[in-house]
Amino acid sequence: MMDVKRFDWDKYVRSASYYAVLDGTDYSHKIPTMFSPDKKQIYLQSDDIAYDVEDIEMLKLKLSALLERLKKEAKSVDWSYEKLYLLQVDYLTIFTILADRSALPDDHNSPEENLRIAMEEFKNQMRKTPAQPPLPLQ
């Protein structure tokens, strides 16, 4: 076994530019889901658009839409692990924003249960679909 000096990833990320960090990933062309510096907007990678975090009604609509997209993607023959993951991240991000503002719709009080149902649909689709490599995001 080779004696390899450990690279200090935390130190590197703290000092490297954002683009240098992205350049070292498989996703260098994508901006991740993130808040604006003033925390007034949330950019969702799955939509490639930003939303005002104080627009509660829009966020409620977005939460439902993300869950429906997640369920649809889970049932799709052309599913992608990456797309499912991104939709989950965005769903949980919007869920947290609404929960922090005590503004969750009644049918979204259990994100774990909603995600469990979506993943059950995914598993059911997997049983019906012949094995194939996952498709990349487009």
Q: Is residue 55 domain-resident?
A: yes
pLDDT of residue 13: 86
Residue 13 lies in a domain: no
Q: What is the pLDDT of residue 85?
A: 86
CA distance 27 to 34: 15
Whole-number pLDDT of residue 49: 94
Region of 127 (left: φ > 0; alpha: ψ -120 to 50; beta: rest) is alpha
Task: Please state the three-class secondary structure of the chain as a single string.
Answer: CCCCCCCCHHHHHHHCCHHHHHHCCCCCCCCCCEECCCCCEEEECCCCEEEECCCHHHHHHHHHHHHHHHHHHHHCCCCCHHHHHHHHHHHHHHHHHHHHCCCCCHHHCCHHHHHHHHHHHHHHHHHHCCCCCCCCCC
Domain count, the chain: 1
pLDDT at 138: 56
37-70: burial string, b at 16+ Cβ within 10 Å, e else: eeeebbbbbbbeeebebeeeeebbebbeebbebb
Rounded average pLDDT per 10-residue block, the chain, 138 residues: 81 86 69 92 94 97 93 75 87 94 84 78 70 60
Please give the pLDDT value at position 73: 83
70 in a domain, yes or no? yes
Task: Evaluate whether residue 95 is within a structural domain.
Answer: yes
| C-beta of residue 126 within 8 angstroms of C-beta of residue 106 | no
pLDDT for res 131: 59
Q: Has this prediction a pTM greater than 0.85? A: no
* Host domain of residue 91: 30-128
Residue 50, in any domain of the structure: yes
